[in-house]
Amino acid sequence: YINHRPSAPISEWQAAAARGHEMASHTVSHVPLDALEVHQMRAELIHSKAILDSLFLGEPVVSLAYPFSQTNAAVAAVASSIYQSGRVGPPTDGNAVYNDPATVDLMSLKAFFPCSTVAQWYSAVERTIAGNGWLVEALHPIDEPGFCRVATEDFAEHLHYLSQQHPALWVAPVRDVAKRIRQWRTVELQIEIISKKVYQLRIIGAHSYQPDWQVALYLNDPHLWGVEEENGRIVPSNMEEDALVFSWPQQRANDLLFLRPKDQTHIAQYSWGTLKHAIRKRPEH
C-alpha cells in the first residue's frame, strides 16, 4: 500500500523483485475491505495493482494480502476477479497453521506470523513438512518499529534453517506456489483397464504445462508391479509404504504408460485391490 514513510527507495524494491522476490498488493489505503462498498473495494484493489504493475515490470502482481488480515465471502469474490490469491492471518480455531494444498481456497490462505521465538518458527516448519502442507510466512518489519517486529539475526538464522530442509521443503513466493497448485488442479491421471493383466495410464490436462510429475499408485502389493512405456522401456520406480512411485517421463507428458505385473505368469496369485492414484510433484532441485 502507499506508505508515506517507506523503509527503502523504490529502486531497492525493484532490485529485490529482479532477484526473484514477489511484490504483492496490500491495497492503496490499507483500509478494511469488508467495511467498504463494492465500488470502493474494487477501486482499492484495482488501483493498487495498477501502481505496482507500473513499478515492477518483470512479473504481473497477482497476490493480495488483505489489510488487517480481514476478508469475507463478498471481499474474496471481488478480489478473485483481480488477483489469483489472497492471504489472511493465522487460524483462530486451533487448526493447523499451514494450508492443505489439495483443498485450500487460494483466496483465503492462512498465514503464520513468525513474531515469536526461533524455536517456534522451527516447530511450524516441521509440522508443515510432516503434514505435507503449505506454510505461508507473513513477515512484518525487520529491525523496524511496528507489529510483529523481527530481528535481522533471527531472520537470517531462519533462512539458513530453511535452506537445510532441502529436498523436503520447497521455498518459493506465494505467486509460484499458487500457480503450481492451480496447474495441479487441472491435471488428472486417467487409468483404464485394457486387460486382466494391464492398466493403461495417461495424464490429461497437461497439454500446455509439462512439469516433472511424480505419480503414486496405491496397490495392495506395489512391489509386484512395474510401469513401462509403449515401447516396453521400463520406467524407474520405487516403493513408499503401499504405493508404487515413479516420475512420469517429461518428454512423454501426453503419451501412454502401462502398469503390468512384473511376473505375468503368476497373475492369478496377485491381489489387485483398489487402485487409487495421486499425482505429486517431483521434489524441487
Q: Is the pLDDT of residue 275 over 70?
A: no
215 lies in some domain:
yes
Q: In 26-88, which ranges are E strands?
A: 63-65, 85-87
Residues 113 and 196 in one domain: no
Could you read off the pLDDT of 56-67 as tens digits, one per residue? Answer: 998 999 999 999
For residues 172 and 209, state if they share a domain.
Answer: no
- Residues 130, 163: one domain? yes
Terminal CA-CA length for the chain: 34
Distance from C-alpha of 105 to C-alpha of 71, rounded to nearest angstrom: 13
CATH number for 116: 3.20.20.370
**Same domain as 133, residue 22:** yes
User: pLDDT of 151-172, one tens digit each?
Assistant: 888 889 999 999 999 888 899 9
Query: What one-character-per-residue DSSP string does 220-276 give?
Result: SSGGGEEEEETTSPEEPEEEETTEEEEEPPGGGTTSEEEEEESSGGGGGG------E
Q: Which domain holds residue 19?
A: 10-178
Q: Does residue 214 sit in the same domain as residue 146?
A: no
Tell me the C-alpha distance between 138 and 118, whole Å: 15
Is residue 276 one of the residues assigned to a domain?
yes
Say yes or no: 157 and 62 in one domain.
yes
Question: 38 and 81 in contact (C-beta within 8 Å)?
Answer: no
Does one domain contain both 250 and 137? no
If asked whether residues 116 and 227 sit together in one domain, one would say no
- Say if 55 falls within a structural domain: yes
pLDDT band at 266 (very low <50, low <70, confident <90, very high): very low
